[in-house]
Structure 1
Amino acid sequence: MAVYALTGFSLVSLLSFGYLSWDWMKPSLVADVATDPMEKSLPPTFARPPHIIFILTDDQGYHDVGYHGSDIQTPTLDRLAAEGVKLENYYIQPICTPSRSQLITGRYQIHTGLQHSIIRPRQPNCLPLDQVTLPQKLQEAGYSTHMVGKWHLGFYKKECLPTRRGFDTFLGSLTGNVDYYTYDNCDGPGVCGYDLHEGEDVAWDQSGKYSTLLYAQRVNKILASHSPKKPIFIYVAFQAVHTPLQSPKEYIYRYRSMGNVARRKYAAMVTCMDEAVKNITWALKKYGYYDNSVIVFSTDNGGQTFSGGSNWPLRGRKGTYWEGGVRGIGFVHSPLIKRKRRTSWALVHITDWYPTLVSLARGNLSNVPGLDGYNVWPAISEGKESPRTEILHNIDPLYNHAKYGSLEDGFGIWNTAVQASIRVGEWKLLTGDPGYSDWIPPQTLTNFPGSWWNLERLTDGLRKSVWLFNITADPYERYDLSDQRPDVVRTLLMRLVHYNRTAIPVRYPAENPRAHPDFNGGAWGPWASEDDAEEWEGTGEPLKSRNKKKKCKICKLRSFFRKLNTRLMSNRI
């Protein structure tokens, strides 16, 4: 049992030097200690189940918060984080749908079939219906559950909607990218529709209201009409600060001295979101929730450097498996925390919120075996060691075209052309094509992209398909150790092999013309009936419609947009 007391850092170090032996094909480094989610950490004891407010922002970069040295004003986030616990070893996913699915299910995306890209508006796809969601578990524990904001977990049939997945109420968008005022979303030229929904109905009457402010107002209304005597869970998934870059003028004026227009608008959106969080916190206090509440703040992925975001000094951006894509802003603020006002370096992943919050709610996890998340509340509240020692960032079998990857480069056990990444203790391994690998300073210069874009670019190693970093010693991923430590590379490749054996087929069906908003009164919404379920669902192979019509304009445009996918993806996900 002495082995289990070692930290992730020392354990992997000793393994690498050969002082310890381990079966790397076991489920996880702590599997022998506790296999049941409820046993991973003892549940807390509160007088009453706490109110839980989970705030998720969209595309907010690691550098884009005041307490990380940003030039953007975030006084509310700075204060809440300073009075709570800052999570400085906190990881998310590099794009939208995967992060949201892992939050809602507590499972890696290889275990839900969502390991490739995102769920697109015209795809017959959604979060698998056999998954028991976080709000469903909280409902079982007696909670009132509400969602405000961006869903992006599929909507092709009504069973996929938030109100069918555990939320009592819902106000927000179903797709991933809408106008902040008009709530229009275009999935290609001529494929546009309205996307703001109240429950399962289209909320036409809310058009014209800036989404960040609208969502904060809705949270205030929920708190005002609910009794603090009954526990409540509110999932606030702000659209901010995803593109399009739109903000009320009064916020843009504050940053008028910023030379870069994209950065100026982006900064305004962040500050507006910060004030929305201030209003939510104020409402918690006004209506009597605050003293028994837990506020969790998280980003969904790294910042989009094409659109004003910054992950400096981390490497990479949104959509990549470099630290800039997967290391997030995170903190917990609560009067119930035992050791407040500190920074935690405990390893935490977005899947951990599922068992952590259900345990806080005194819920039952016995009927959801095989979770990939851990209860990290003792690590957050009391400063104890995190039960997590490794993170599977992802394995994407459909993204397997790295030019220089091969099975030979993977010691005959792993094809390094496959995009994958894993963190074990201090070590991080990447294979395939991890994405844009630049270090990009904040975009404060006037010309875009121009002079700032190439300030920190690595030009060597372009013929590689394997990278290894000691993230503890080198958090900015500047020193690739794959050639010096082939023993560690092989060990981590074996972990990828293990996880890959547990993966389910990819759910990434072809887009279907039936989803066009013109067939739904001009709004995005469910289009498939229960009888169509088998036709619309897929596991990686393109689906064929039974309607043998001639190719429509939408279909003809598909190949064109796929050719532009590398560039367009930055603003569509």
Structure 2
Amino acid sequence: MGSIIIALVFSIYVNFCTSASPKPHVIFMLSDDQGYRDIGYHGSIFDTPVMDSLAAEGVKLENYYVQPLCTPTRSQLLTGRYQIRTGLQHGVLKQNQPSCLPTDEVTIAEKMRDAGYSTHMVGKWHLGFYENACMPTERGFDTFLGYLTGSEDYYSHDKSSGYDFRRNASVEWNYDGVYSTILYAEEAVDIISEHDPDEPMFLYIPFQAPHTPLSAPSNYTDPYTSTINDNDRLAYAGMVTCMDEAVGNIIEALKSNSDMYDNTVIIFSSDNGGDTAAGGYNWPLRGEKGSYFEGGIRAIGFVHSPLLDDGIKGTVNNELIHVSDWFPTIIEGIADWNTNGTKTLDGVNQWNTIKSGSASGRTEILYNIDPMAVLSKGGKKWNGQSFDVKISAAIRSGDMKLITGDKGTDGWIAPPDASLTSVSGPAYSGQVVWLYNITADPTEENDLAETEIDTVIALLDRLAVYEADAVAVNYPTSESGANPNTNGNGGVWGPWA
């Protein structure tokens, strides 16, 4: 009798396990230097029908923030931790610096692998590669196709004096002359098409587009030659249009593989504001790439999935969300796994916020404290405050955002293809503290630093708390040993230490 009961229990257990729905697949697509303005639903003159449709049928994130530069955004996405924790507070990593995302940091790919996912990366790394331990396939990705540096030619895949394209850890020469956006889409389609839909997959696609150098096949720029007269903007429009088509091809691959699409969460994000000197625009937001004004850090973001609650599809989410939140959101929320073994996270699990519309658990964002960017003189003194306001820093708490150190002269720069007029920022007067109510004043036209003194002091105190916990900046001088033409790497960028 006992053996019959045991067999019955075992049978029920097996049936439950085999009939349970597999964990959702996750596709995370990251565009590079795509301005806030540069998508159809934000007013772009060029077409992004695929992304517009995905966003319209999903959830648009309209209070969503990233970092103002490439490396910091990627580091926080992959670790869920502010850059003051990883030593990446200053600038971006250069190809000849002996530095990378610290190898003792647990990445999202490692945790997703622990959760039973296959993990794939297609596109731009830009988190350092001076030693083998820094490489994507050593940081949790089962496969990698793409480049390691911050930018390169879209066709030749050359960076400065070296070639930069790899499959996993090996140099990949087969795609010389193939436009990268098309190439990355084809690789992603192949990965999806060959994947077993019953096995969970995490696919990270950090596109190269539309970062410089500005370049696009003519069939993507030709439709705009009569409406866009600025050459940079014309090339940029073609790059975004090509990327939009690439996103569509990836979605179609999901739908073609046994309805894999039905069990997939698709996340799209830009990595920082558009560079107005290179075709990208953030109007009506103030500032651009590299700035702590909204134009540098408020991102395009949306989530599309059949798994979203029906009442949420087609809505706008105005809850406060930061790029560091994707780490716990994907691992804990979507994959239903744990973040055990990681260092203390700054990210917040936002899955219920996105999926069901509940309130965000985040009330504050530290954008950065960069002790290597300090003004030498000028500025109002905030007596009694422990934080040095000449240091470049920014923080948001609730509705209020404080910026320190930066000269604060950024203006509102309109795209050349729109009937809009750019407005210059104020001349530098020695001021080093700015305060804005972002909810009431998202375009940052009304500086409240002189009238909301208590708020300024409170936010300076918060910066002081974060500063006390920050690690030293790891921004070493460049090494001649990185030169791929003299270090034995045969003219290819790669580990040299």
Q: How far is 1:246 from its partner?
A: 0.3
Partners of 2:285 and 2:184 lie apart in 1 by 31
Q: How far is 1:460 from its partner?
A: 4.5
Alignment match, 2:54? 80
Q: Go from structure 1 to structure 2 and tell me whether the alpha carbon gap of 1:325 and 1:402 turns closer, same or farther (over 3 Å shift).
A: farther
Q: How far is 1:47 from its partner?
A: 3.2
Partners of 1:310 and 1:349 lie apart in 2 by 21
Structure 1 residue aligned with 2:349, among 363, 375, 380?
375
Q: Which piece of structure 1 moves more, 489-498 or 434-443?
A: 434-443
Alignment match, 2:395? 422
Alignment check: 8 A CA contact 1:296 1:332 kept: yes
Structure 2 residue aligned with 1:201, among 160, 166, 170?
170
The answer to whether the aligner puts 1:268 opposite 2:238 as a matched pair is yes
Partners of 1:413 and 1:284 lie apart in 2 by 53
Alignment check: 8 A CA contact 1:405 1:418 kept: no
Q: How far is 1:216 from its partner?
A: 0.3
Superposed CA offset, 1:415-466 (max 9, x none): 11100000000000000016651100012389xxxxx9x8301234532100
Q: After the TM superposition, which segments of 4 or more aligned residues of structure 1 sit over 3 Å from their partners?
A: none
Partners of 2:468 and 2:337 lie apart in 1 by 30
Alignment match, 2:448? 481
Alignment check: 8 A CA contact 1:216 1:277 kept: yes
Alignment check: 8 A CA contact 2:409 2:425 kept: no
Partners of 2:474 and 2:245 lie apart in 1 by 38
Alignment match, 1:465? 432
Q: Go from structure 1 to structure 2 and tell me whether the alpha carbon gap of 1:215 and 1:494 turns closer, same or farther (over 3 Å shift).
A: same
Stretches of structure 1 that go unaligned for 5 or more consecutive residues are 1-45, 187-191, 447-451, 529-573
Alignment match, 2:92? 118
Alignment check: 8 A CA contact 1:410 1:416 kept: no
Alignment match, 2:304? 333
Q: How far is 1:395 from its partner?
A: 0.2
Partners of 2:314 and 2:128 lie apart in 1 by 38
Superposed CA offset, 1:60-95 (max 9, x none): 000000001110200000000000000000000000
Q: How far is 1:206 from its partner?
A: 1.1
Structure 1 residue aligned with 2:255, among 285, 300, 306?
285
Structure 1 residue aligned with 2:158, among 159, 179, 184?
184
Q: Go from structure 1 to structure 2 and tell me whether the alpha carbon gap of 1:223 and 1:385 turns closer, same or farther (over 3 Å shift).
A: same
Alignment match, 2:322? 349
Query: 1:13-24 counterparts in 2 under 5 A?
Result: none
Alignment check: 8 A CA contact 2:385 2:457 kept: no
Partners of 1:472 and 1:274 lie apart in 2 by 30
Q: Go from structure 1 to structure 2 and tell me whether the alpha carbon gap of 1:391 and 1:80 turns closer, same or farther (over 3 Å shift).
A: same
Partners of 1:47 and 1:469 lie apart in 2 by 46
Partners of 2:418 and 2:37 lie apart in 1 by 16
Alignment match, 1:503? 470
Partners of 1:458 and 1:402 lie apart in 2 by 21
C-alpha RMSD over aligned residues? 1.5
Alignment match, 1:36? none
Q: Go from structure 1 to structure 2 and tell me whether the alpha carbon gap of 1:510 and 1:435 turns closer, same or farther (over 3 Å shift).
A: farther
Q: How far is 1:368 from its partner?
A: 1.8
Query: 1:51-66 counterparts in 2 under 5 A?
Result: 51-66=25-40
Alignment match, 2:277? 306
Partners of 1:436 and 1:137 lie apart in 2 by 42
State the SS of the aligned residue for 1:279: helix
Q: Go from structure 1 to structure 2 and tell me whether the alpha carbon gap of 1:434 and 1:259 turns closer, same or farther (over 3 Å shift).
A: same
Superposed CA offset, 1:76-131 (max 9, x none): 00000000000000000000000000000000000111000111000000000000
Q: Which piece of structure 1 moves more, 459-468 or 129-138?
A: 459-468
Stretches of structure 2 that go unaligned for 5 or more consecutive residues are 1-19
Alignment check: 8 A CA contact 1:62 1:311 kept: yes
Q: How far is 1:180 from its partner?
A: 0.2
Alignment check: 8 A CA contact 1:259 1:445 kept: no
Code of the aligned partner of 2:443: Y
The answer to whether the aligner puts 1:138 opposite 2:112 as a matched pair is yes
State the SS of the aligned residue for 1:508: coil
Partners of 2:356 and 2:194 lie apart in 1 by 34
Partners of 2:443 and 2:193 lie apart in 1 by 45
Q: How far is 1:141 from its partner?
A: 0.4
Q: Go from structure 1 to structure 2 and tell me whether the alpha carbon gap of 1:474 and 1:299 turns closer, same or farther (over 3 Å shift).
A: same
The answer to whether the aligner puts 1:223 opposite 2:189 as a matched pair is no
Alignment match, 1:438? 411
The answer to whether the aligner puts 1:99 opposite 2:68 as a matched pair is no
Partners of 1:280 and 1:97 lie apart in 2 by 25
TM-score by length of 1: 0.81
TM-score by length of 2: 0.93
Alignment check: 8 A CA contact 2:22 2:198 kept: no
Partners of 1:379 and 1:515 lie apart in 2 by 44
State the SS of the aligned residue for 1:496: helix
Q: How far is 1:363 from its partner?
A: 1.7
Q: How far is 1:410 from its partner?
A: 5.7
Alignment check: 8 A CA contact 1:196 1:204 kept: yes
Q: How far is 1:402 from its partner?
A: 5.4
Code of the aligned partner of 1:355: P
Code of the aligned partner of 2:253: A
Q: Go from structure 1 to structure 2 and tell me whether the alpha carbon gap of 1:216 and 1:307 turns closer, same or farther (over 3 Å shift).
A: same
Query: 1:503-542 counterparts in 2 under 5 A?
Result: 503-518=470-485, 519=487, 520-528=489-497
Alignment match, 2:7? none
Code of the aligned partner of 2:215: Q
State the SS of the aligned residue for 1:229: coil
Alignment check: 8 A CA contact 1:134 1:354 kept: yes
Partners of 2:238 and 2:383 lie apart in 1 by 46
Q: How far is 1:172 from its partner?
A: 0.3
Q: How far is 1:366 from its partner?
A: 2.6
Partners of 2:127 and 2:409 lie apart in 1 by 26
Alignment check: 8 A CA contact 2:366 2:394 kept: yes
The answer to whether the aligner puts 1:392 opposite 2:366 as a matched pair is yes
Identity %: 53
